Amino acid sequence: MLKDNIAKMIDHTLLKPAKESEIITLCAEAKQYGFASVCVNPYHVKLAAKELQGTDVKVCTVIGFPLGENTTATKVFETKNAIKSGATEIDMVMNQSLAKSNAWKKVEKDIAAVKKACGDVLLKVILETCNLTPKQIISACNACVNAGAQYVKTSTGFGKGGATTEAVSLMADMVHPKGLKVKASGGIHNFDEASLMVLNGADRIGASCGVEICKK
């Protein structure tokens, strides 16, 4: 796999506390390398949208971050507000308490409400696979399919573990036949690690090391 090809799959991510200048740099790097999107906290969406206006780089933000345990109404408000501010992709966190309780109908209802708020805007659902058993990952994927999401995503990057090839492969087996895609994120630091995720079924890569992954 060529580095130019993998660049188009990267969500260039900065979710730690950041200065305005750091967000501007993030956007400049995304334009330079041709990344799929920048992924920033909701506060920075307006700035990112301004910096990326007229480019093909999408503006992604996180909803219910990092535990997914905001109320559904709060997530819906966050989503609508982010889209109004210029977000063109939404990465929401699945409610971790509901998932650990195997309350999958409630999980599905929560995701479906956010999907409705998204309208035509792309929705990715962060499962936080490090907290789930393989059986729970399967149930979570099914909830995402039923709720109308377009992607399942491994991790927030703030949990006890990040993306693994095992989780990515399992998610891909579950959702690819049903038309959804997979985003691998968390702990991906270089080209070899990113390529391995793609080989195991990832369609997008979430990484704060996008430049390092793609440097010639």
- Predicted confidence at residue 215, as pLDDT, reads 84
What does the alpha-carbon distance between residue 145 and residue 131 come to, in Å, rounded to a whole number? 20
Catalytic site residue from 11, 181, 183, 203? 183
Sign of the CA dihedral with 208 first, then 177, 59, and 35 last? positive
16 an active-site residue?
Answer: no
Which structural domains are found in the chain, ordered by start? 3-214 (3.20.20.70)
Claim: this prediction has a pTM higher than 0.75: yes
- Predicted confidence at residue 150, as pLDDT, reads 98
From the list 159, 170, 155, the residue with the least C-alpha distance to 206 is 155
- Predicted confidence at residue 37, as pLDDT, reads 98
Catalytic site residue from 91, 110, 115, 124? 91
109 an active-site residue?
Answer: no
Catalytic site residue from 124, 153, 181, 203? 153
Q: Residues with Cβ < 8 Å from 192, sequence gap 6 or more?
A: none
183 an active-site residue?
Answer: yes
Q: What are phi and psi of 101, to 5 degrees?
A: -90, 0
- Predicted confidence at residue 216, as pLDDT, reads 58
Q: Spell out, as residue ranges, where the chain has pLDDT lower than 70.
A: 1-3, 216
- Predicted confidence at residue 2, as pLDDT, reads 64
In degrees to the nearest 10, what's the CA dihedral of 97, 10, 168, 68? 0
DSSP class of 94: P
